[in-house]
Amino acid sequence: MSFLSSLARATRTLRPATSRRLVSSISNQTTRKSYRSLACGAAFGVAAYLTLSSNGVHMDSIVEAPPVVQAVPEETIVDPATSIAFPKSMKIPSNLKIPPLTLVGVGVRTVSFLGVKVYSIGFYADLSSSTLKIPLDISPEEKIDYIVRNTACVIRIVPTRNTSYTHLRDAFMRAMHARLSAGIKDGSITQEMAMDVASPLRTLKGLFPNSPLAKHTPLDIFLAAPLHNRQRPLVFRDLGSIESDWVATEFVLNYFDTSAPSPALKTAAFENMKSFAK
């Protein structure tokens, strides 16, 4: 088995759609399936394996032979706070021809007043996507928001010490409930929308086993590009996936909010976006 386990399922087609607003279309369909069940076929769409190696994600169609991947030298960016290295480009060799994802920023997550370093985070995005139309003169915050809403992304979490999936789960759920409550309070999310989101949030909570996650073992969280007439998938390596436009998009946007888990990641990503235009 490779350094990373298989990520989760992908869709029959990953056709980018136009930008969606936060509160639009939150009729959610959720899925939680193992790779073996996906390999036998889902109720809709053709599933795929996402097999990750130390230099990227490997996503193969189950009906066609895997592509041949040529070994190439890997360039990395090292998180100065933890010395954990992240590849600059996350390759996704696939019959679906998904372009490589570019490393946008890295940063450490610390907890308590002692500043205990718990994990490093890398943010990747498909910056080559033809759907991106980003002028130079908008703010880095607006660029990141637009990228997350309109193209494929990956959040890579690498623990600096042995931890557990339940520890990460609890942090994820606190963040999502906080964003949901804030949306209800400011009126951007109605009670009806909140009820629709409740089911995929329950599915998200149930994805995580009561088992350890070893030091320096990456957990990759893949946000698929928006899909036509389909809720957006959020795929957790070796665990499963959920499908919800709101949950999938807001999960990634949380890393760039005022209460971001890693201010260092947010700062690095915003800095790298200052000169980016497309």
**Per-domain residue ranges of the chain:** 35-273
Angle at 155 between CA 201 and CA 274, to 5 degrees: 120
Nearest CA among 65, 162, 121 for reference residue 268: 121
The two three-digit tokens of residue 202, written as one number: 């329950």
46 has a pLDDT exceeding 50 = no
Return the CATH number of the domain spanning residue range 35-273.
Answer: 3.50.70.10
The two three-digit tokens of residue 39, written as one number: 């390999």
Under a CB-based contact definition with an 8 Å cutoff, are residues 44 and 30 in contact?
no
Arithmetic mean of pLDDT, 80-103: 86
**Which residue in the block uniquely carries the two structure tokens 């399922």?**
9
| pLDDT tens string 183-224 | 999 999 999 999 999 999 999 999 999 999 999 999 999 999
The two three-digit tokens of residue 70, written as one number: 């040529």
Helices (H) and strands (E) in the chain, counts: 6, 13
Arithmetic mean of pLDDT, 139-154: 97
43 has a pLDDT exceeding 80 = no
18 has a pLDDT exceeding 50 = no
What secondary structure does DSSP assign to 147-216, as a single string?
A: HHHHS-EEEEEEESS-EEHHHHHHHHHHHHHHHHHHHHHHTSS-HHHHHHHHHHHHHHHHT--SSEE-TT
Distance of alpha carbon 101 from the chain centroid? 11
Most confident range (mean pLDDT) of 107-116, 230-239, 260-269 is 260-269
The two three-digit tokens of residue 31, written as one number: 């899925």
DSSP letter for 262, please.
Answer: -
Q: Which residues of 135-144 are buried (b: 16+ CB within 10 A; e: fewer)?
A: eeeeebeebb
* pLDDT confidence of residue 69: 38
Q: Taking the model in full, what pTM does it have?
A: 0.75
Q: Which residue has the higher pLDDT, 167 or 112?
A: 167
